[in-house]
Amino acid sequence: MPLNRNTAHGVARLLVASLALGLGSPGVSAGVREQAKVMHDRLAGVPPSQAVLLDMAADLEAGDYTSAAYTAMDNEAFLAVTLKNWITPWTNRDQDVFRDLNDYTATVIGVIRDERDFREILYSDILYTADPDLGLAAYSNSNNTQYQQLETQGLPLSTALVPVQQSQVNGLPEAATAGVMTSRAAAKEFFIAGTNRAMFRFTLLNHLCVDLEQVKDTSRPPDRIRQDVSRSPGGDSRVFLNNCIACHSGMDPMAQAFAYYDFEFNPGADPDAVNGSIHYNGSGDIDAATGTRVEAKYHINSANFSYGFVTPDDRWDNYWRQGPNRNLGWDSGLPGSGSGAKSMGMELAHSEAFAQCQVKKVFRAVCLREPGDADDRSHLSGTTALFQDGYNLKKVFAETANYCKQP
């Protein structure tokens, strides 16, 4: 049965009452039981059974907080409620948590569940779909039916989700896959219409925890800013020189990685793009509007500034490796330039900012507050170092639940 939060809260109150009446176990103090319950509540979002509570308490009594946290994360609600609600806002422009399960959400859940290198979500040829043995609708590049069936039937994500090569199910060449950025759900939100800058902006916001306002830099050269950006908005060139250039000089060279992608749908018959699908101009494909593989959207509003940059291909360059945004901690082992979304996703995922962002987001989700003092900052620093040793996000959840386990 699908989890009902109101029912879960009611059960939680009953369990608290039971504990108050003396539920216990020889050798396990009441204080440790309370800590175990806090850990379980924060990780799973539902109360533990008596057996699970005492098992976790015994682990905590023995100093093994990792086992205690992993026991809590074995609860199906960790995947279906905690992670699903945590990830869902990343999948849409409104950052709305009330959205159906989709291929983006399912893939991030699967990567965390299987303790894979979390950086893969931005560049690997990976997708998590329903196990074919379940008899659900097949994965489709033009609808979300399979994931809606997974959710409405309340199937356990611990076993129902299986990893597949994304290129084998969505038709993209392997070299064009970039983890969740090339999932159908992400394409529907961030490649639809527009100029594909949305995909870059929301990836930056969701996975490096910075928005464009925080990375504004007027010192970068403006040579890659496209024609659609006016150099004198409202007739005042100072607006461009002091504002527009600050974001576009860094963003446009990076968003060029998405030059061959679009989300196609029939606006007349399907205005909400319910049945649209990701589209990619592969080798040999020529866009009628541009005469190259570059999608027409990269050349729109060219009259705004005809001398602006005309996108010829999907080569990207990270201008932020110089100037103040070098503090995002770019990987010196990477070249800082390349072609296509996969290598650009790796550039983002291998940054210090990416690692720090995941740890901060887990802190907010588990501790239910913002980090605020020296102890919190020390915890974030230590946990980030732990995360960077293998990029196993499940360990971050365990470490954070232990830090915030006091009732």
pLDDT category at 202 given cuts 50, 70, 90 is very high
Contact 226, 309 (CB under 8 A): yes
Contact 259, 315 (CB under 8 A): no
Contact 13, 20 (CB under 8 A): no
Tokens of 37: 């319950």
14 pLDDT exceeds 70? no
pLDDT category at 27 given cuts 50, 70, 90 is low
What's the confidence (pLDDT) of residue 318? 98
Contact 157, 150 (CB under 8 A): yes
Please name the residues in contact with 216: beta carbons below 8 A apart, sequence gap of 6 or more. 243, 246, 247
Whose CA is closest to 365, among 9, 42, 6? 42
Q: What is the pLDDT of residues 49-63, one digit of tens each?
A: 999 999 999 999 999
10 pLDDT exceeds 70? no
Please name the residues in contact with 225: beta carbons below 8 A apart, sequence gap of 6 or more. 244, 245, 248, 249, 252, 308, 309
What's the confidence (pLDDT) of residue 13? 37
Mean pLDDT of the chain: 94
State how far the Cα of 205 lies from the Cα of 195, in Å rounded to an integer.
17
State how far the Cα of 172 lies from the Cα of 193, in Å rounded to an integer.
19
What's the confidence (pLDDT) of residue 16? 38
What's the confidence (pLDDT) of residue 30? 74
67 pLDDT exceeds 60? yes
Q: What is the pLDDT of residues 351-367, one digit of tens each?
A: 999 999 999 999 999 99
State how far the Cα of 365 lies from the Cα of 362, in Å rounded to an integer.
5
State how far the Cα of 160 lies from the Cα of 163, in Å rounded to an integer.
10
Q: What is the pLDDT of residues 302-315, one digit of tens each?
A: 999 999 999 999 99
* Mean local confidence (pLDDT), 382-406: 98
Beta bridge partners of 178: 180
105 pLDDT exceeds 80? yes
Share of the chain above pLDDT 90, in %: 92
What's the confidence (pLDDT) of residue 120? 98
CA distances from 224 to 183, 220, 337 (A): 27, 10, 14
State how far the Cα of 5 lies from the Cα of 8, in Å rounded to an integer.
5
Q: What is the pLDDT of residues 227-254, one digit of tens each?
A: 999 999 999 999 999 999 999 999 999 9
State how far the Cα of 339 lies from the Cα of 323, in Å rounded to an integer.
23
Contact 240, 233 (CB under 8 A): yes
pLDDT category at 29 given cuts 50, 70, 90 is confident
| 7 C-beta neighbours (distance < 10 Å), count | 11
* Mean local confidence (pLDDT), 67-90: 98
Q: Which residue has the tokens 């060029």?
A: 256
Write out the E strands in 192-283: 261-264, 277-280
Please name the residues in contact with 339: beta carbons below 8 A apart, sequence gap of 6 or more. 257, 313, 314, 315, 316
User: Which is more confident, 15 or 382?
Assistant: 382
135 pLDDT exceeds 80? yes
Q: What is the pLDDT of residues 257-268, one digit of tens each?
A: 999 999 999 999
What's the confidence (pLDDT) of residue 28? 67
Question: Residue 112 is inside which H or E element, if any?
Answer: helix 103-113
189 pLDDT exceeds 90? yes
